[in-house]
């Protein structure tokens, strides 16, 4: 799922929040390494940083000038796959306060059990 501010278009986004789920049995490390390899293949000059958080999730940030994208993304391993929450913004439009808000939201997000799913 991708969300853009009201009035923007997903095809011509300026900033965007994305929530993704990859249903996989791969380890978190393997999944993130594959994701990083795809990013580096698309843009070998990408500025990519990664941090393992205390809960074992992985927080990644990158800037790709060729894709005109600055992003932060958190990868969280669930029972059925890898869950991701991301904020993307065009580097020229990046505002410090907005990035700080999304950084806080993404870093503190967590998975909750689906009340509809049988355990």
Please count the other Cβ atoms lying within 10 Å of the Cβ belonging to residue 36: 16
The tokens of 48 are what?
A: 């990519």
List the one residue out of 59, 42, 52, 51 whose CA is nearest residue 109: 59
Between 58 and 6, residue with greater pLDDT = 58
Going from N- to C-terminal start, the domains of the chain cover 12-108
pLDDT tens-digit series, residues 85-109:
999 999 899 999 999 999 999 999 9
What contacts 10, CB < 8 A, 6 or more positions away? 2, 4, 16
Answer whether residue 114 shows pLDDT above 90: no
Query: Average pLDDT in the 71-86 region?
Result: 96
pTM over 0.85: yes
pLDDT in the model for residue 10: 83
Report whether 50 contacts 62 (CB < 8 A): no
19: three-class secondary structure by DSSP = strand
CATH class of this structure's domain 12-108: alpha beta
């Amino acid at each position: 799922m991708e969300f853009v501010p009201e009035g923007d278009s997903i095809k011509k986004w300026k900033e965007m929040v994305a929530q993704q789920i990859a249903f996989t049995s791969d380890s978190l490390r393997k999944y993130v390494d594959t994701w990083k390899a795809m990013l580096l293949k698309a843009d070998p000059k990408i500025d990519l940083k990664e941090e393992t958080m205390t809960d074992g999730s992985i927080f990644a940030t990158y800037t790709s000038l060729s894709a005109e994208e600055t992003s932060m993304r958190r990868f969280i391993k669930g029972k059925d796959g890898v869950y991701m929450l991301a904020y993307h913004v065009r580097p020229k439009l990046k505002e410090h306060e907005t990035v700080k808000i999304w950084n806080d939201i993404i870093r503190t997000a967590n998975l909750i059990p689906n009340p509809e799913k049988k355990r």
